[in-house]
């Protein structure tokens, strides 16, 4: 699936992944390939992206929204930095 993490001023990450874990307002949850469509609010916390080679990339966000549709995941974050 394709993943993008975007802030108001730049694109922090773009690439293929097999999973994305995000800090939802009701608790952390993970999106895997072929996930059902969803839009959810996000809280401040860590986003974990599992790339196709099995490695992980982490990003600290200050809240935002995630949209999942047809194996495309977009995280619109208020701010994000790689950690």
- Kindly write down the DSSP assignment for every residue of 6-69, as one continuous string: E-SS-EEEEEEEEEEEEEETTEEEEEETTPPPEEEEEEEEEEEEEETTS-EEEEEEEEEEEEEE
* CATH pick for 2-82 out of 2.60.15.10, 1.10.3660.10, 3.40.50.10860, 2.40.37.10: 2.60.15.10
71 band by pLDDT with thresholds 50, 70 and 90: very high
CA angle 40, 44, 49 (to 5 degrees): 70
Please state the pTM of the whole predicted model. Answer: 0.94
Q: Using one digit for the tens of pLDDT, what is the confidence trace for 56-67?
A: 999 999 999 999
Residues 29-49: what's their mean pLDDT? 97
CB atoms within 10 A of CB 8: 9
Residues 10-30: what's their mean pLDDT? 97
> Domain residues of the chain, as ranges?
2-82
- From the list 42, 17, 14, 44, the residue with the least C-alpha distance to 31 is 17
What average pLDDT does the chain have? Answer: 97
47 band by pLDDT with thresholds 50, 70 and 90: very high
Instruction: Please tell me the distance from the alpha carbon of residue 22 to that of residue 61, in angstroms, as a whole number.
Output: 9
């Amino acid at each position: 699936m394709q993943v993008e993490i975007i802030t108001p001023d730049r694109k922090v990450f773009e690439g293929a992944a097999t999973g994305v874990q995000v800090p939802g307002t009701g608790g952390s949850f993970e999106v895997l390939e072929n996930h059902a469509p969803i839009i959810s609010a996000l809280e401040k916390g860590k986003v974990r992206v599992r790339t196709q080679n099995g490695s992980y990339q982490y990003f600290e966000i200050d809240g935002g929204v995630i949209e999942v549709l047809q194996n495309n995941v977009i995280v619109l974050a208020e701010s994000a930095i790689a950690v």
